[in-house]
Amino acid sequence: MMNRGIRGATTVTRNDEQEIMQETLRLLEEMVKRNDLHPEYISNIWITMTQDLDAAFPAKAIRQLEGWDLVPLMCSVEIPVKGSLPRCIRFMVQVNTEKSQSEIKHVYLNEAKRLRPDLSESGVQP
């Protein structure tokens, strides 16, 4: 079994606790669905947000999901690079899996699709 990283990112329209929590869960749900993830096999999730977001801890939304309370979660602030995508939430999910690197499905939603158009599925609705 290998430990693989799965990237994910989304954006919100405003610095609002409810929207941050909703988009966090939406991103996680898409990552789980596309990669057939189970909390037991998640090593940890690293979550960053851009500095313009400070209304909520995204990890709080994940911890409230059944079966996810023991998954190690860490929140941090994204490096403030001039001109970078605003109001962005990013995930790095480390998972123990038999899947090859090429089988991993990275997830980019909303305006975050611009970050990695090569990895974004065109059929995903914002």
Q: What's the pLDDT tens digit per position in 94-118?
A: 999 999 999 999 999 999 998 988 8
Q: Are the C-beta atoms of residues 24 and 118 closer than 8 Å to each other?
A: no
Give the residue extent of every domain in the chain.
Answer: 1-117
Q: Is the pLDDT of residue 57 over 90?
A: yes
According to the annotation, is 41 in a ligand binding site? no
In 3D space, the residue among 1, 90, 9, 91 whose CA is nearest the CA of residue 40 turns out to be 1
pTM (two decimals) = 0.91
Distance from the Cα of residue 109 to its chain's centroid: 9
pLDDT at 123: 39
Number of Cβ within 10 Å of residue 44's Cβ equals 13
pLDDT at 118: 82
Residue 49 parent element (H or E):
strand 42-49
Residue 121 confidence class, pLDDT cut points 50, 70, 90? low
According to the annotation, is 108 in a ligand binding site? yes
Q: Are the C-beta atoms of residues 19 and 110 closer than 8 Å to each other?
A: no
For the annotated catalytic residues, the residue numbers are 7, 63, 75, 78, 90, 108, 116
Give tens-digit pLDDT for 75-100: 999 999 999 999 999 999 999 999 99
Residue 126 confidence class, pLDDT cut points 50, 70, 90? very low
- What whole-number distance in Å separates Cα of residue 107 and Cα of residue 75? 18
| CATH class (in words) of the domain with range 1-117 | alpha beta
Residues facing 89 on adjacent strands: 10, 49
Residue 27 confidence class, pLDDT cut points 50, 70, 90? very high
Give tens-digit pLDDT for 38-48: 999 999 999 99
Supply 87's token pair. Answer: 């109001």
In 3D space, the residue among 90, 109, 85, 89 whose CA is nearest the CA of residue 34 turns out to be 109
